[in-house]
Amino acid sequence: MPETFVLINGAWHGGWAWRPVARHLRAAGHRVLTPTLPGLHDGDDPTDLHLSDVVDAVVDLVEREDLRDVTLVGHSWGGYPMTGAAHHLRTRLRKLVYWSAFVPARGRSLHDEIPPGYQELFADLARASDDNTVALPLDVWQAAFVHDAPEDVQRALHELMVPHPYQYFTETVEPLDAAAGIPVAYVLSREDIALPPGEYGWDRFAERLGVEPLVAPGSHEACFTAPEGLAHALLKA
């Protein structure tokens, strides 16, 4: 039976990052929407934007399109706006799927959930910018995020990314309450080392949801490097 997917991008990305995955989902007969969130369009001025504006944008899209029985998928940072939107959309949702994504906890921002080295790097980059944004360094991108792609592909993708508003990393959303009754799933890419295994690894977020992660192929950027396998995992979830 055809389903409706709304795919929420991670930091530095826009809806464009989902195109390879969306193509496979649509080929299987499903409706797919891939919005680019406020502050992440090329040329956006994010100075006066907040994480709540991103949450509102997801809610507005679903309500404006009058979508029902929706599967929301959030990648990485996208777990924050997806969770925030779910509070307002629960009667319209079929499921939430976190793919290698942060699962918010009460009072904890993404900044609180990442290793100290990332905390310091992102804070320094935001301070050095003119608009409180973080531009992900190429070497970090290549080594930790998309290490399963050839160098020319790594560099081409890096050129497409936009600086991420730092306040989106430091602001919080309310976590989901089990009483909300929204089904959840967690998909984890097998070669994902964007967060190092151990104390800060991705596994803790599936545990936070109380579910077993479904393993998918590829790195943190499997939307580019293993889109067919990722699409299959999202459908299975």
Mind listing the pLDDT tens digit for each residue in 134-153? 999 999 999 999 999 999 99
Mind listing the pLDDT tens digit for each residue in 122-132? 999 999 999 99
Average pLDDT over the chain reads 97
Mind listing the pLDDT tens digit for each residue in 151-184? 999 999 999 999 999 999 999 999 988 657 899 9
Range of the domain at 21: 4-236
CATH number, domain at 70?
A: 3.40.50.1820
Which residue did the predictor score with more confidence, 181 or 9?
A: 9
Please report the pLDDT score of residue 152 as a whole number. 98
Please report the pLDDT score of residue 78 as a whole number. 98
Please report the pLDDT score of residue 146 as a whole number. 98
Average pLDDT rounded to a whole number, residues 48-77: 98
With a CB cutoff of 8 Å and minimum separation 6, the contacts of 31 are 2, 3, 4, 5
Mind listing the pLDDT tens digit for each residue in 187-234? 999 999 999 999 999 999 999 999 999 999 999 999 999 999 999 999
- What pTM value is reported for the model? 0.97
Domain count, the chain: 1
The rounded percent of the chain whose pLDDT value lies above 70 is 99
